[in-house]
A and B are shown apart, each in its own frame.
Chain A
Amino acid sequence: MKILIVEDEIELSESIVSYLKSEGYLCEYALTYDSAIDKISLYAYDIILVDLNLPDGNGIQIIRKLKESDFKGGIIITSARETLDDRISGLNSGADDYLIKPFHLAELNARIKSLTRRVLFKGGNTITLNEIKIKPDAHEVYIKGKLMDLTRKEFDLLLFLVTNKDRVLSKESIAEHLWGDYIDSADSFDFVYAHIKNLRKKLTNKGVGKYLQTVYGVGYKFIEN
């Protein structure tokens, strides 16, 4: 799977590449509008991340060019602009998702995975991790073939953890992913903790291994082995 990151901040591009590379993606980045246009005309990518504000052009133009060239992959806009109008115009231009800066890398990863399932596997994909099988579109989780009863938030939490498996996820990134603007930062720790506790209890009850680990003082980690 090949990803192009169009982002003029080199340090941010590097962070994204570094995170996504260990997920097994092939990553390249373009720091300017021109180099982005060069790259998309020369190589084929599965997913393209586009920053809207580029020093020598607008990310929307890149998306239009991609759509003209019959691009079949997924496009995610990353932008500091967060009004509804910006989002709507971004999505109308043909982008599949809109991620507001600053974002957590885990969040970006989850969005890419979700987009991959939606666009490249047409939603029919299932995620398997040892005895756990997740059908993201049906919102169903099977443990050793048996359907598991989870609340909506617990399902989202499990999917987020599994998507970012073997990664340390800070409680902030979990809180932001699950509740967004609805969580108060002062309360987020207790909240995430309570939900993790419930999820862990349910998984343990079903005989799932101790994959969900606490990284003291930081957050949580879902390990495969």
Chain B
Amino acid sequence: MKLLTKTTLFFLTIALFVLFGGGIVFYFSFRYIMNHEVKRELVTEMHQVILHPPQGNIIGIDSVVFNLPVHYQILPVKDIHNPTFVFRDTLLFDNIMGRYQPYRMLSYETNLDGKPVRISISKSLLMSDELIEYVAFVILLLSLILLLFIIAFNNYFFSRIWGKFFKTIDVIKDYNISDKKEITFPESEITEFNLLNQVFEQMHERIKQDYQNLKEFIENISHEIQNPLAIIKSRVDLLLQDEDLNKSQTDLIQSIQNSTIRLSNLNRSLILLSKIDNNQFPDKEEVSIVENINYHLDNFEDIIQSKNITLHKDYNNQITILADSNLISIMLLNLLKNSIYHNVPSGNIEIITEVNKLIIRNSGKELDINKEDLFKRFTKSSNKPESLGLGLAIVKKICDYYHCSIQYFCQDNFHTITIIFN
């Protein structure tokens, strides 16, 4: 649930409770006061009648006088049963309105001119009821307006106050550690948000520092590894010159040599991957994919021939992209190398170019690795344990670097790699 919805609901709930509760309390207390007022008026009225009995022509015994909203009635009774003020609510017929209306009636039994009578004074409740209704309506209206204002103000303040917060979130969302871009958080008048920004900035500084250290460490270690490797390689070369080596010794040397080459290749690949990660290929020039492929195919010529591979080229487009020519060359070299070395004897390779699209298809054994893992580092087929498993990881990395998409798909022992350039 969004914070805005949550706070709005919260405020609305509280407002409803307060308004509803307040409305009830107000209604009843208002009613009480009105009733009390009517009673007081009735009693005053009664006292006037008793103390200053109405003159015959105004009101007499057994007469009814309509003097809206007050209504007098004096009826003779046999005995005085209850000489106290009795209040009750009643409905009396209203001649003017032509229907029954609510009245509050005060009855009192007393002797008037020596005769026992019951004096009833009734006061219409119509006015007070209307007043209550009116007031209740006004309160309801005010409540509604208040609620609308709460929602509107909440929305307004939310966007005003939290806007900076969302800007901070956007900055973090777009944040990429390998980007050299400096990040700046929006200044806010709210202390808590500035605190948040401050914490993020400190965190960013720390991550940047760690990343930089790690990067330098990887670069240094990779370069430092090349030196001992160079020593091993040169020592092995010298050792090979020994005339007295027997077979088991040459086997050992062979094994050392192979491992040295693997380690060296591994190291080179890792340096390359880390360089791409570190955005160390900022150069961009027009690179022709087809020219690049042809250059590599020239160098592969005798290898393709010796494996008796049939090569089909179907160039419908040159495909020129803006990129570092070195990286594109490495990418295409790896792809072509795969299509040749993972092929079958007397196999096929098809290279198709269309607008912004390169397709390389080759015959080959079925994959014994997961299709999903194909582009991951160190994924290699059990058929080729000496392979580094970095070729396609490098290809993928270069594709990502230039925002190209790469897809693999296999059908009938035909492996297809499709790259879509942007």
Q: Which residues of A contact B (CB under 8 A)?
A: 9, 11-12, 15-16, 18-19, 53, 80-85, 101-106, 151, 153, 167-168, 170, 172-173, 179, 181-187, 191, 194, 215-219
Contacts and interface: CB of A to CB of B under 8 A. Distances in A.
A102 B230 contact: yes
B268 to A, nearest CB: 7
B238 interface: yes
Interface stretch (B54-62, B124-132, B258-266): B258-266
A136 to B, nearest CB: 20
A101 B227 contact: yes
Given A182-B299, A184-B341, 14 more contacts: A12-B227, A19-B238, A80-B226, A84-B325, A84-B326, A102-B230, A102-B231, A167-B241, A182-B337, A185-B261, A186-B384, A186-B387, A191-B306, A219-B240
Contacts of B268: 82
A219 to B, nearest CB: 7
Contacts of B251: 217
B300 A83 contact: no
Given A81-B223, A186-B384, A216-B247, A103 B238 contact: no
B392 to A, nearest CB: 14
B303 A191 contact: yes
A152 B341 CA distance: 22
B258 A172 contact: yes
A101 B235 CA distance: 14
Contact of A105 (B234, B302, B306, B387): B234
A12 B236 CA distance: 11
A215 B244 CA distance: 12
Contact of B247 (A9, A103, A217, A219): A217
Contact of A182 (B247, B253, B264, B300): B300
A84 B280 CA distance: 12
11 contacts: A11-B231, A80-B227, A82-B268, A83-B275, A104-B234, A105-B234, A105-B237, A185-B386, A187-B341, A215-B240, A218-B254
A172 B232 CA distance: 14
Interface residues of B, number: 48
Contacts of A85: 283
A102 B250 contact: no
Contact of B238 (A18, A179, A183): A18
B334 to A, nearest CB: 9
B302 A218 contact: no
A167 B203 CA distance: 59
A102 B232 contact: yes
B333 interface: yes
B326 A83 contact: yes
B233 A104 contact: yes
B248 to A, nearest CB: 9
B260 A102 contact: yes
B50 interface: no
Nearest to B230: A102
Contacts of B199: none
B238 A102 contact: no
A170 B257 contact: yes
Contacts of A167: 241
A172 B326 CA distance: 25
B68 interface: no
Nearest to B385: A186
Given A53-B223, A191-B306, A186 B231 contact: no
Contacts of B226: 80, 101-102
Contacts of B325: 84
Given A182-B300, A217-B251, A218-B253, A101 B230 contact: yes
A102 B234 CA distance: 8
B231 A9 contact: yes
A18 B238 CA distance: 8
Q: Tell which of A83, A191, A216 has the most Cβ of chain B within 10 Å.
A: A83
A194 B337 contact: no
Contacts of A216: 247, 250
A15 B237 contact: yes
Nearest to A105: B237
